Structure 1
Amino acid sequence: MSFRNQRQPSESSGTEDSPRSSLRSSQSDAELSPQIFRKDSTGPVRDSRSNTGGREPQRMSSDLGAISSKKYVKDFTFGRVLGEGAYGAVVLGKENETGKEYAIKMMEQRHLMKEKKVKYAVTERDILTLCHNNPFIVKLYYTFKDDQYLYYVLELCPNGELLDHISKAGSFEEPCAAFYAAEIIMALEFLHDNGIIHRDLKPENVRSLSPAPSDEQQILSHLILHIKLTDFGTAKIVGKEKTARSNSFVGTAEYVSPELLKEKITSKSEVEENSSDLWALGCIIYQMIAGRPPFRGPSEYVIFEKVENCSYTFPNGFPDTAKDLISRLLVLDPDSRLGFASFSELREHSFFSGIKWEDLHVQTPPQMKSSQIKMVFEEDVVAEEEAKRKKMQEEENEKWKKFLLDEKELILESGLIWKRKGRSVKKRQLILTNKPRLIYVDPKKMVLKGEIPWTSQLKPEAKNNTSWFVHTPKRTYILEDIPGKSQRWIDAINKQLNVSTRD
């Protein structure tokens, strides 16, 4: 999604439709809409929307020859790269005649045909044509092609992605998160009302647009930004795709819904598929408030497992109202997600109590302030404890490294114990290394006192939290862990026994 600053003046004399209006095209709408050549046409044919209220997208040829217009490559000066995708790049473009700047999406035709993605390019064009007058969806102005590329001339959203703003702020205050969530909801409601599913909703696909500020805006200390949904490359028009998908999913790991991971979507289940956008909405609201997505992990595999099990937690300090909303969106059953039956359910949630839904796109949004609520994540606590343990381990290694055989020998576990033999009780520093070796040192005199012979028959055994044994073929060593954590020794020795056995 993108951000835009306060509403731009229309390029025609017509006024923009409400986001909930029908898709009937006025004369000014036709002038603004992308101009399309049909393959069998000798001249440009305006895209005319259905006269049935606009609920059905205009069906166009999926042939590459259908994508063209009055504009050509020579009409634009191409500048820096704004972003890159799987099938090409988005570059800054300036129209030579007017000096107006656009974002021009360039898609390599050969690659689209090789990967069998032509239909996705055409679907994206059709969707953007349908959504041209919606204030929360990026506008498509022209389409044309040359021998190598397809070109989509899009509205320029110069203020970056929602993700950029979240990263900069760390997290949003609740009123700010509610406002931008409300704008996303307005966009989704329009899409779903017209049979369109985004399927890759994420902060990177929410962008921002800034027109020249008015006098009123100039006195404000912050940009007035509104969202624009972008990137409909994997979007779907319900009923248009008749065959089921298999062995693949669309979306991004952190935001993809569990049903898109698990099942093959068919015409029977595609009604439920639009609920995947509601799942992604829940993930985005969580991220705006917490600063990170709810499903995260070191790999996509780990993230997918969490998504499939709806396994996530809220950090300490997460607002209760937002927590309730997200808990109703991140639900495994698609039919049970808040907003599936009606978007009015979402709008009526107490999280949006301060939102005035009418004319949202011309209102002044809350300032993007960093939340003052300190949120504590479980993984941060674990990471902090692990960092402390690692630091202590490094200090231990430095202290006892004189007893190691060489630089490759590392200390795996180390600690003070009582070593018993008959009536004798000695305080010793027990050290387990990766050789493996199990040695004990006089910590006062810093002298090596002995080594427990390491064999495959060595066996540790816990007696209680403090006392434990190490059985060897010739002797049993009786030990007591001074901190009272004997199990750590049992686990460490058994782990190293398994490693040495494999080796």
Structure 2
Amino acid sequence: MDAGPAESPSPQPSRANGNINLGPSVNPNARPTDFDFLKIIGKGTYGKVLLAKRKSDGAFYAVKVLQKKSILKKKEQSHIMVERNVLLKNVQHPFLVGLHYSFQTPEKLYFVLDYVNGGELFFHLQRERRFLEPRARFYAAEVASAIGYLHSLNIIYRDLKPENILLDCQGHVVLTDFGLCKEGVEPEETTSTFCGTPEYLAPEVLRNEPYDRAVDWWCLGAVLYEMLHGLLEIKNHVFFSPINWDDLYHKRLTPPFNPNVAGPADLKHFDPEFTQEAVSKSIGCTPDTVASSSGASSAFLGFSYGPEDDDVLDC
């Protein structure tokens, strides 16, 4: 989950002639036609990940294809550059996905990555619900090794979750997706950007306090807990055992309390402090009768919404 903007890496990305400078990872001779794109194996905010077979040698890769237009529209060039910078440093570690090279066309960016086809840890947890302790320990140890390596490079990962932990064809962990990493953080230094995935955020991040690399170990603890006890185990807790969740969703269960309102004008359940206050006459005025600031109007372009004609239901 992109839950917030990554902080700017060093150096800043160049956009001369509409291009995004990907630095020394660029293969100037590479092009999309070098590959046969076989299947979509993942999707993200700015593009897709595809299984690709290189025509020259038949080698398989995961090629991450990103739309420049979407990236530039949301001013997330730095997010992409962080990922590129960290990918370049990951080639020395067995539990981090490797970047082979990157290239671009006028419309798209291409990252040519290791093809890792053992599935997301999230997928396996969904299917098996939980792992036995030896299996959970093994995965946690390999993830810890990868996180420790990033920390040795003064990189905080900041987005550890089962969706970002892949298994390779032998069953080893491969950590991926480095767009929320923070580079250049010395052991005693802190940072403060609010980012990550809500379910795994450390308390200091949630409190908007400065934090250090320890937030990654909190995330690892949360992931380990899920491996041992299951993803979102809350519906299966004994406390909810009398609840039929399908009946609940379809409102087939009788609520334990009926407000017994007489109709839409019955306000007995609203605080009189509010209901007795006079309604301002300006609330019902139209733009023709109320002077408005052009600056205020332009700040919320696209705010207004109405259903399409075919979405309107006949009463």
- Do the two structures share a fold, i.e. TM-score over 0.5? yes
* Length-normalised TM-score, structure 1: 0.45
1:76 Cα offset (Å): 1.3
Residue 174 of structure 2 is aligned with which of 228, 231, 238?
228
Matches for 1:104-183 after TM superposition, within 5 Å? 104-183=63-142
SS in 2 for 1:254: helix
The 1:238/1:412 distance shift into structure 2, 3 A limit, reads same
Match of 2:13 among 62, 67, 74: 62
- C-alpha deviation, 1:381, in angstroms: 2.5
- Residue 256 (structure 1) aligned with residue 189 (structure 2): no
Asked if 1:284 is matched to 2:228, the reply is no
Distance 1:165 1:411 in 2: 36
Cα root mean square deviation, aligned:
3.5
Q: Distance in 1 between matches of 2:12 and 2:268?
A: 66
Alignment partner, residue 286 of structure 2: none
Q: 1:278 to 1:500 in 2, by over 3 A?
A: closer
Q: Residues 499 and 187 of structure 1: is their aligned pair in 2 closer, same or farther, counting only changes over 3 Å? A: same
Change (3 A) 1:144 1:434: same
Change in Cα spacing, 1:105 to 1:186, as seen in structure 2 (3 Å) is same
Q: What letter is aligned with 2:229?
A: A
1:261 partner amino acid = L
Structure 1 pair 115–245 and aligned structure 2 pair: CA distance change class (3 A): farther
Which residue pairs with 1:493 in the alignment? none
**Shift of residue 380 of structure 1?**
2.5
Aligned partners of 2:106 and 2:140: how far apart in 1?
41
1:79 aligns with 2:38: yes
Checking the alignment, whether the CA contact within 8 Å between 1:411 and 1:434 is kept in structure 2 is no
Q: Distance in 1 between matches of 2:259 and 2:165?
A: 52
Specify the code of the residue in structure 2 equivalent to 1:139: G
**Structure 1 counterpart of 2:269:** 498
Q: Is residue 155–residue 185 contact of structure 2 (8 Å, CA) maintained in 1? A: no
Equivalent in the alignment of 1:383 = 240
Q: 3-state SS of the aligned residue for 2:237?
A: helix
Do residues 205 (structure 1) and 164 (structure 2) align?
yes
Structure (1/2) with the larger strand percentage:
1
CA distance in 2, matches of 1:433, 1:104: 56
How big is each residue's C-alpha offset from its partner over 1:350-409, in whole Å with a ceiling of 9 and x where there is no partner? Answer: xxxxxxxxxxxxxxxxxxxxxxxxxxx697223223459x99xx99x9xxxxxxxxxxxx
1:188 paired to 2:138: no
Q: What aligned pairs does 1:232-243 form with structure 2 within 5 A after superposition?
A: 232-239=178-185
Q: Tell me the matched-pair count.
A: 250
In the alignment, which residue of structure 2 is the partner of 1:402? none
One-letter amino acid matched to 1:236: K
Shift of 1:124: 1.0
Shift of 1:175: 0.7
Q: Are the equivalent residues in 1 in contact too, given 2:101–2:113 (CA < 8 A)?
A: yes
Offset of residue 73 of structure 1: 1.6
Deviations 1:128-166 (A, max 9, x none): 111102100001101000000110000011121001111
**Runs of 4 or more off by more than 4 Å in structure 1?**
58-61, 242-246, 410-413, 499-503
Per-residue CA deviation, residues 103-124 of structure 1 (Å, 9 max, x unaligned), is 1111112222222211121121
CA distance 1:433–1:273, shift in 2 (3 Å):
closer
Residues of 2 paired with 1:411 and 1:126: CA distance? 54
2 CA distance for matches of 1:80 and 1:254?
30
Secondary structure of 2:92's aligned partner: coil
Structure 2: give runs of 5+ residues left out of the alignment.
Answer: 1-8, 15-19, 276-315
Q: Return the match for 1:434 from 260, 269, 272.
A: 260
- Fraction of identical pairs, as percent: 32
Q: Counterpart of 1:277 in structure 2: which amino acid?
A: D
Query: Is 1:99 matched with 2:38?
Result: no
Q: Which whole-Å CA distance do the structure 2 matches of 1:411 and 1:117 have between them? A: 46
* 1:5-26 C-alpha deviation (Å, 9 max, x unpaired): xxxxxxxxxxxxxxxxxxxxxx
Larger radius of gyration: 1
